[in-house]
Structure 1
């Protein structure tokens, strides 16, 4: 039972984190996107790609976060979250932002736990 509660709390914590990122960024979407473009000026990534990704990112964070909070299609949400972190890691590496990569690796570790312990996911809409 404790492992089910622990899974629930970790899943919801990751969900709140991602949802919060999305909620904070969506109202200022274009300011956020312009900031990302500025942050990636030294990257070899095309600015149009950075702009497209940065305008999609808050919506992805919002959706994945909401799914994790509710426990809705949890497996898919965990894989989507892990994939999102991999994309962020890749982007951070192109500008040599090693500090951000360290934080992103912590997120990757949390997604590893969530994915590898899926059998502990009892308190979720998936089980209703």
Structure 2
């Protein structure tokens, strides 16, 4: 691919904005978001002692992963972190049978996987020097 860096930036842009946006809009209202998440997770088998700290960490993790993807810093690690985060969210959504949320989380996961696959395929192609 002739201009991989530019192409790769534009294909990772939507997921980077999605993750950063999820995190950044929640940061100013962190206590309210935490209270909402604890309420949502009431039917879960997960203890509140795990949900509360996670509800404070989640927006920060989303914002950081999104911003790292946006600026292109440590892309592979950022993609792996995004996949781990989505897996945790999917587990939580399963625990309360929130199947609608799982669809969105799976879509994010497939997008992150696609970026990882695309990047690794490009790394395998020998560069042409003329």
Query: TM (normalized to structure 1)?
Result: 0.88
How far apart are 1:13 and its partner, in Å? 1.4
**Structure having the higher Rg:** 2
CA shift digits 1:12-38 (9 cap, x unpaired): 211111111111000000100000000
1:41 aligns with 2:53: no
Q: In structure 2, the residue corresponding to 1:117 is in which secondary structure? A: helix
Count of matched residue pairs: 121
How far apart are 1:118 and its partner, in Å? 1.2
Mapped partners of 2:23, 2:104: distance in 1: 18
How far apart are 1:6 and its partner, in Å? 3.9
Q: Work out which structure has the larger RCO, using CA pairs closer than 8 Å and 6 or more positions apart in sequence.
A: 1
Q: Which residue of 2 aligns with 1:15?
A: 16
How far apart are 1:95 and its partner, in Å? 0.0
1:58 aligns with 2:59: yes
Q: Runs of 5+ in structure 1 lacking a partner?
A: 122-128
Q: Which residue of 1 aligns with 2:127?
A: none
Q: Which residue of 2 aligns with 1:125?
A: none
Mapped partners of 2:91, 2:2: distance in 1: 35
Q: Which residue of 2 aligns with 1:124?
A: none
Q: In structure 1, the residue corresponding to 2:70 is in which secondary structure? A: helix
Mapped partners of 1:101, 1:55: distance in 2: 20
How far apart are 1:88 and its partner, in Å? 0.3
